[in-house]
């Protein structure tokens, strides 16, 4: 399903793309069951962290509307779901440039690979949104803009601004040579860098990622098997690479990007410190940054979660 998607794009347009799933929903969990080798996985903390949410996507969308008014359309890629905040018809005018894109749309012609519960597979095909602008910014539903941004924060002279730094591959670090391979974000980035022909990798963090659609399209035309291999997994798999990282490394290889060391990011992935520490961080450091990353908010204590959600609400109002 697609709702009110524009039928044309213009030069200079910039769109935003967000992946979202409500993994708490019983129907979604039932849908997963036939594809799980061990149904007890649904109860594991690691599995829950990947799929569960606390409705933070509303703040992601609100942050784009408030701090990136130049964004033409916001596309939310889902699997037959709609975030609760978009169901209320009394708010349609507020979110009239926010559109739901079903997995079946971006996997059109590749339906044999559905259903999928794998963000890496979905990211591989996110560029196939109908009439997506050539320039788009990809965000997870735990990314937020927290201060005013401008188009040049994402694209300069039409080229994506890539935030990160160069690092050695684990294979070239002595103490990591013999460690067991882990199914992680970093290893998936390293695989992508090697595919692009690099002997090091550009490590990017949890900031919004600017892309050019044509880079995806050109690679697909020449390397369809790589696409198909990467989407042929219902859940994350050690054999997968991070497609967004591959695209970034191709842009670097072709000298069609701008590299920036300053992430302009405030990021949290653990919530074990006392509440006053978070209050200090949110009320001081946030003034200096453009982006906020809040990974696995569902593991927060009720007190810290309440504070963070209230802070987000005030920031986006």
Q: Is the pLDDT reported for residue 49 higher than 60?
A: no
Q: Which CATH number do you get for residue 146?
A: 3.90.550
pTM of the shown model? 0.89
Confidence (pLDDT) at 40 = 61
> Domain total for the chain?
1
In a domain, 8, yes or no: no
The one-character DSSP state at 181 is P
Which alpha helices (H) appear in 33-118, and where do they start and end?
A: 45-51, 57-67, 103-106
User: Which residues span the domain enclosing 214?
Assistant: 14-316
pLDDT grade for 232, boundaries at 50, 70 and 90: very high
Confidence (pLDDT) at 30 = 78
In a domain, 149, yes or no: yes
Residues above pLDDT 90, as percent of the chain: 67
**How many CA atoms does the CB half-sphere of 126 hold within 13 Å?**
33
Q: Is the pLDDT reported for residue 197 higher than 80?
A: yes
* Calpha distance 112→101 (Å, rounded): 18
| Of residues 57, 75, 56, 83, the one with CA closest to residue 3 | 75
Q: How far is CA 312 from CA 27, 208, 317, in A?
A: 29, 17, 8
In a domain, 289, yes or no: yes
DSSP string for 246-302: HHHHHHHHTT-SEEES---EEEES---S-HHHHHHHHHHGGGG-SEEEETTGGGS-H
For 226, other C-beta atoms within 10 Å of its C-beta total 16
Confidence (pLDDT) at 102 = 96
Q: Is the pLDDT reported for residue 38 higher than 70?
A: no
In a domain, 7, yes or no: no
The one-character DSSP state at 184 is S
pLDDT tens-digit profile of 94-139? 899 999 999 999 999 999 999 999 999 999 999 999 999 999 999 9
Residues above pLDDT 70, as percent of the chain: 87
Q: Is the pLDDT reported for residue 1 higher than 90?
A: no
Confidence (pLDDT) at 299 = 87
In a domain, 2, yes or no: no
pLDDT grade for 178, boundaries at 50, 70 and 90: low
In a domain, 3, yes or no: no
In a domain, 277, yes or no: yes
* Calpha distance 132→16 (Å, rounded): 9
pLDDT grade for 259, boundaries at 50, 70 and 90: very high
* Calpha distance 57→63 (Å, rounded): 10
In a domain, 158, yes or no: yes
Q: Is the pLDDT reported for residue 77 higher than 50?
A: yes
pLDDT grade for 179, boundaries at 50, 70 and 90: low
8 A C-beta contact, residue 72 and residue 15? yes
Query: Rounded mean pLDDT of 41-62?
Result: 69
* Calpha distance 289→279 (Å, rounded): 16
Confidence (pLDDT) at 2 = 45
């Amino acid at each position: 399903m697609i709702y009110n998607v524009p039928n044309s794009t213009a030069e200079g347009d910039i769109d935003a793309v967000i992946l979202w799933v409500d993994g708490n929903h019983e129907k979604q969990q039932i849908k997963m069951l036939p594809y799980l080798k061990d149904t007890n996985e649904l109860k594991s903390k690691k599995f829950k962290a990947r799929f569960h949410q606390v409705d933070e996507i509303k703040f992601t969308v609100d942050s784009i509307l408030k701090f990136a008014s130049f964004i033409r359309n916001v596309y939310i890629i889902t699997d037959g779901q709609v975030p609760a905040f978009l169901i209320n018809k009394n708010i349609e005018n507020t979110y009239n440039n926010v559109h739901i894109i079903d997995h079946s749309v971006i996997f059109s012609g590749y339906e044999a690979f559905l259903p999928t519960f794998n963000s890496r597979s979905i990211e591989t095909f996110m560029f196939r949104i109908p009439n997506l602008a050539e320039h788009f910014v990809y965000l997870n539903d735990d990314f937020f803009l927290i201060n005013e941004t401008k188009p040049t924060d994402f694209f300069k002279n039409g080229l994506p601004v890539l935030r990160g730094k160069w690092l050695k591959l684990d294979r070239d670090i002595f103490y990591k040579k013999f460690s067991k391979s882990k199914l992680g974000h970093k290893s998936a980035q390293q695989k992508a860098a090697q595919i692009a022909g690099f002997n090091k990798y550009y490590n990017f963090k949890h900031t919004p990622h600017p892309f050019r659609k044509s880079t995806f399209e050109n690679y697909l035309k020449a390397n369809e098997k790589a696409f198909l291999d990467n989407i042929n997994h219902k859940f994350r798999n050690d054999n997968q690479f991070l497609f967004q990282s591959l695209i970034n490394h191709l842009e670097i290889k072709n000298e069609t990007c701008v590299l920036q060391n300053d992430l302009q990011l405030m990021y949290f992935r653990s919530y074990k410190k006392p509440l006053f520490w978070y209050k200090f961080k949110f009320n001081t450091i946030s003034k200096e940054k453009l982006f906020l990353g809040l990974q696995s908010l569902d593991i927060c204590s009720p007190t810290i979660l309440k504070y963070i959600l209230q802070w987000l609400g005030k920031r986006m109002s």
